[in-house]
Amino acid sequence: MVIRERFTDKVAIVTGAGGDIGREIARRFAREGAVAVIADINLKAARETKKLIDEEGGRAQVVQVNLLKSEEIRNLVQAVIRENGRIDILVNNAGIGERTTLLETREEMWDLIMAVDPGSVFRCTKYAAPEMIKRGGGKIINIASMMGMIGMGSPSYSAAKGAIIAMTPIVAAELGPHKINVNTVCPGFILTKLNRSMLETRIGDQVIEKIPMRRIGRTEDVAALVTFLASDDADYINGAIIPLDGGMGRFLDLGEDYRTYDPFREMKEN
């Protein structure tokens, strides 16, 4: 059953909505009354997302798009306008990455990650924002990463997500007068098909030990924050960079001995 609440009759584009995180975001919008536009280069995965939304009684539109190509993004925007007459929300979720050291990183892969991650945020925002301006406002939510905020992960992925973070306040300042809010969510470790096998090993236990909330994030956690930022309740939040990592990015765990050590013990005893 669709819960028609915050997004009744609104139109939300979610890039990369064939993947786990994008799929959950699209489903959450559809459950709350929005038309979820599933924008993905992987047509099979996009159709699987639409099938789930259809089964839940929601509304969805599939548009296959290569986010490296401005012409295809313009076509995406035009297809959404033809079908629905409006664009209210854009979630720049699509992204790629690799786990390599600086010396192992191939230049062509560096260029591709930069073109897809911050590049698609730039291109999608550039072509969707004018339609929002015509309608008097909208919401844009970018998905970056905790790894763009702290020294963690591969240089290429961290740099790409860091670029999205750096772009956010500038774009928010430019579009704010048009009543368009631009914010960025920075997930930490989120359980997806891509990392499930790793997180179910001892590595996952080690990761959890570094997270104050003592659990891995869920795709539902990301969808909940994204839909809040897209709602009227977030109308005065603009240019924000919001971690979604269970506190991991602001907590340096030096071990149990350090956490329990009392440097004033001798003083107290005397």
> Which residues are 91's β-sheet partners?
14, 141
Residue 92 to residue 89: CA distance in whole angstroms: 10
Catalytic residue (one of 157, 236, 258, 261): 157
- Tell me the two tokens of residue 195: 């990392």
Strand order in the sheet with 180-187: 59-64, 35-40, 11-15, 89-92, 138-143, 180-187, 241-244
Sequence length of the chain is 270
**H-helix segments, the chain:** 20-31, 43-55, 70-84, 107-135, 155-175, 196-199, 202-209, 219-230, 256-260, 265-269
SS3 call for 184? strand
Are the beta carbons of 41 and 66 closer than 8 angstroms?
Answer: yes
Q: Is 157 a catalytic residue?
A: yes
Active site residues: 157
